[in-house]
Amino acid sequence: MVKAIKVMLIPNNVQKTRMFQYAGASRFAYNWALAREIKNYEKGGGFITDAELRKEFTKLRHSDEYAWLLNISNNVTKQAIKDACTAYKNFFRGLQKFPRFKSKKRSMPKFYQDNVKIRFSNTHVKFEGFSSSRKANKQKMNWVRLAEHGRIPTNAKYMNPRISFDGLNWWISVCVEFPDCRETLNDDGVGIDLGIKDLAVCSDGTKYKNINKSQKVKKSEKQKRRLQRSISRSYEKNKKGESYCKTNNVIKKEKLLLKRNHRLTNIRKNYLNQTISEIVDRKPRFICIEDLNVSGM
């Protein structure tokens, strides 16, 4: 059984800088690989494998113009190239839309760590390449503190470790292999009808309310709209010609808006997780659900 675990990180300022550098290098490698695939296709060429692109990128790393890439772990850029090739192939297979280039402003900063070289203790995680020095005081730079102690097991088999930044905090998500756990299931099944008025209605008559209609979410949404209008007025007030000037007060308000969005997201996620856990804890033999475009509801 493979279980995904996500834990918040508490890096110091130097570690934050290195993380943003790694995320920037990952974004650069992804965009470079995608551009190579598109350019080759326009010339009538076939698909370039990620192995071929990685060889090209290694030569690029050792050029004078891109020497800064030598300070980044090779596994970070290798995986970014592989991700770009996978996204490109999935488009032609009809599995997803055409991949877009990653923007520094809009895309979430994230990068990959080698699942073999990454290490976990009860309180810290060791990243690859933050410090190449063998001195003990410099090696500490590779160890980043975890917000939840003992959540990720040590000396386990790790898969696909990813580090991401959501605008406020850094997070690490990793898949860990656990022994299979067989549960004794009931003979009954559960049918679920998704809706707008209620989140879900089960076949046994249990109803789960729509969290967006609760007073807590409505109040937060109202505060969010008020804050958005305040930011808009601040931009109009400090407008210089055709360009908008971002003042320190605007930056503060945008950070408050980001926190408000995170709060709303966390409220909805928490409610969904609690609802799913409550249904699964009944241990039904099967669960039936409508095949609907849920995101369009």
Q: pLDDT tens, 18-62? A: 999 999 999 999 999 999 999 999 998 889 999 999 999 999 999
User: How far is the C-alpha of 176 from the C-alpha of 156, rounded, in Å?
Assistant: 7
**Nearest Cα residue to 71 out of 12, 140, 21, 136:** 21
Distance from C-alpha of 79 to C-alpha of 27, rounded to nearest angstrom: 11
pLDDT for 125 beyond 90: yes
Q: Among candidates 147, 154, 173, which has minimal Cα distance to 162?
A: 173
Beta carbons of 245 and 205 less than 8 angstroms apart: no
Q: How far apart are CA 203 and CA 201, in angstroms?
A: 7
Cα–Cα separations (whole angstroms), residue 198 to 93, 177, 193, 195, 297:
36, 36, 9, 5, 12
Give just the sign of the alpha carbon dihedral 21, 26, 27, 29. Answer: positive
Tell me the pLDDT band of 181, cut-offs 50, 70 and 90: confident
Higher pLDDT, 155 or 133: 155
Q: What integer pLDDT is reported at residue 179 of this predicted model?
A: 83
CA dihedral (220, 226, 229, 230) in degrees, to 10, reads -110
Q: Is pLDDT above 70 for 291?
A: no
Calculate the alpha carbon distances from 227 to 101, 254, 258, 261 in Å: 31, 8, 10, 11
| Sole residue written with tokens 């110091």 | 12
Report the half-sphere exposure of 103 (CA within 13 A, side-chain side): 3
User: pLDDT band for position 198 (50/70/90)?
Assistant: confident
**Local confidence band at 294 (pLDDT 50, 70, 90 cut-offs):** low
pLDDT band at 215 (very low <50, low <70, confident <90, very high): very high
Average pLDDT, the chain: 90
| pLDDT at residue 186 in the model | 82
Report the alpha-carbon distance of residue 52 to residue 56 in Å, rounded. Answer: 6
| pLDDT confidence of residue 297 | 58
What's the sign of the alpha-carbon dihedral 167, 163, 174, 85? positive
Contact 259, 168 (CB under 8 A): yes
Those residues whose C-beta lies under 8 Å from the C-beta of residue 263, and which sit 6 or more positions away, are: 220
pLDDT at 296: 60
pTM, entire model? 0.85
Give the pLDDT confidence score for residue 53 in this predicted structure.
94
pLDDT of residue 52: 94
Closest CA relative to residue 127, chosen from 28, 51, 16, 13: 16
